[in-house]
Amino acid sequence: QKEVEQDPGPLSVPEGAIVSLNCTYSNSAFQYFMWYRQYSRKGPELLMYTYSSGNKEDGRFTAQVDKSSKYISLFIRDSQPSDSATYLCAIGVLTGFQKLVFGTGTRLLVSP
């Protein structure tokens, strides 16, 4: 079993839709959570970073963490064609050297 599981997609939605992206993890030592957006042939771009259960909002993006279920989500409101990219969840431990464990990424396609 992988430490972090993420559906690879692709996930296709029309412009304006609410998008839900999810990851599950197995190690309860994981304490902080990030979401990255990656366009083709580019480096990952940090979107959201949180280390507590609950919701964190930034513009059209909301990150949700449920530590009891080992489940994290990223919601994108009013999705745009420019949101079409691969979304990676990344999870790490707060102490030590903060190695990140990534999911495989979910490819999102937003059609106009």
Residues that bind other proteins (CB under 8 A): 4, 6, 8, 34, 36, 41-46, 49, 88, 90, 97-105
CB of 97 to other proteins, least distance (A): 5
CB of 46 to other proteins, least distance (A): 5
Q: Is 2 helix (H, G, I), strand (E, B) or coil?
A: coil
Select 16 or 39, whichever has its Cβ closest to other proteins.
Answer: 39
CB of 13 to other proteins, least distance (A): 21
The span from the CA of 43 to the CA of 61, in Å, is 20
Select 42 or 77, whichever has its Cβ closest to other proteins.
Answer: 42
Select 30 or 36, whichever has its Cβ closest to other proteins.
Answer: 36
Select 10 or 14, whichever has its Cβ closest to other proteins.
Answer: 10
- Whole-Å CA distances, 16 to 60, 82, 101: 11, 12, 31
Full 3-state SS string of 54-99: EEEEECCEEEEEECCCCEEEEEECCCCHHHCEEEEEEEECCCCCCC
CB of 48 to other proteins, least distance (A): 8
